[in-house]
Amino acid sequence: MKKITFLLSLILYALAGISQTYVISDLSTLSDQYTVDKSGKSGFIVPNIDGSPYLNDDFIVGEVIVEDSIRFELIPLRYNIYNDKMEFKNKNSQVLELGNSTSRYQFHFEDFLFCNQMYSEDGQSKQGILELLVDGQVKLFKKYNIELQPAARAIGFQEATPDRFVQKEEQYLLAVGKEIPYVFGNPKKLLPVLEKIKPEVNSYVKTQKLKLRSEKDLIVLIQYCNQ
């Protein structure tokens, strides 16, 4: 998949140094995409596979911001977790997807804010789509994961099962300042990092009875560190 069209490069060059946000109505006018299926159904879904590869099966109208300068409004969006791609519909109702290019994209629909982002996992740099849970000097991200488990034959009293999409445990990522987000495994490892920013963080966790394995409490903790 190509990363970006010549047209997008020209427009971004023309907008360099301009703080104004330009609003455009059709996302497919600027990006190279892969046509999934003109019928509106994803070509990645194969019959007889149980479950869904999507965060949201139906398209949800939202907005896309490219490089903090170009805004696309009223764009039907759907996040394919399995392929780690954001799908959208153009004005002709074609279902297209955006590649995880080096250009900065933000996807905002309902209460979700996603961005394509470089991140680190086990010391390896990766590119993917992350949900931004908390913004600020300290940022908290969330990575969704789905795997395709192969079909299993019937054995004894255990019935056969088809290929199926299975949701895996989400990962949480932290970024301080301009560093790239990194996946932290044990939430307790966060405290020494956050202590450098907010020395009272340990006391706050205890007094507020925060559970670091709770997403809700993690959000509260990171918001406190940004105060």
Q: Which two tokens stand for residue 170?
A: 């989400």
Residue 202 has pLDDT above 60, yes or no: yes
Residue 1: inside a domain: no
Distance in angstroms between the alpha carbons of the first and the last residue of the chain: 42
Q: Which two tokens stand for residue 130?
A: 């992350």
Q: State residue 97's pLDDT score.
A: 85
Q: How do residues 94-110 score in pLDDT, each as one tens digit?
A: 888 886 666 789 999 99
The DSSP H or E segment spanning 172 is strand 171-176
Q: How do residues 164-183 score in pLDDT, each as one tens digit?
A: 999 999 999 999 999 999 99
One domain, residues 175 and 198: no
The number of domains in the chain is 2
Residue 149: inside a domain: yes
**97, 33 contact by CB (below 8 A):** yes
Q: How far is Cα 227 from Cα 90, in angstroms, rounded to an integer?
A: 41
Whole-model pTM?
Answer: 0.82
One domain, residues 171 and 208: no
Q: How do residues 59-92 score in pLDDT, each as one tens digit?
A: 999 999 988 888 899 999 999 999 999 999 888 8
Residue 99: inside a domain: yes
Residue 3 has pLDDT above 60, yes or no: no
Higher pLDDT, 82 or 188: 82
Range of the domain at 65: 6-180
Residue 75: inside a domain: yes
One domain, residues 168 and 217: no
Share of residues in the chain with pLDDT > 70 (%): 78
Q: How confident is the model at residue 211 (pLDDT cuts 50, 70, 90)?
A: very high
Residue 67: inside a domain: yes
Q: How do residues 5-56 score in pLDDT, each as one tens digit?
A: 433 443 444 444 434 556 676 777 765 544 444 444 444 455 678 899 999 9
- Cα atoms found within 13 Å of the Cα of residue 212, Cβ hemisphere only: 16
Q: How far is Cα 126 from Cα 168, in angstroms, rounded to an integer?
A: 18
Q: How far is Cα 207 from Cα 41, in angstroms, rounded to an integer?
A: 50
Between 8-22, 45-59, 130-144, 199-213, the lowest mean confidence (pLDDT) is in 8-22
Q: State residue 215's pLDDT score.
A: 96
Indicate the residue type of 162.
P
One domain, residues 44 and 79: yes
Q: How do residues 149-168 score in pLDDT, each as one tens digit?
A: 888 777 767 777 778 999 99
Phi, psi angle pair for 6, to nearest 5°: -60, -35
Indicate the residue type of 198.
K
One domain, residues 190 and 173: no
C-alpha Rg value of the chain to the nearest Å: 20
Q: How far is Cα 178 from Cα 138, in angstroms, rounded to an integer?
A: 9
One domain, residues 70 and 168: yes
One domain, residues 83 and 195: no
217 Cβ neighbours under 8 A, 6+ residues apart? 208, 210, 211
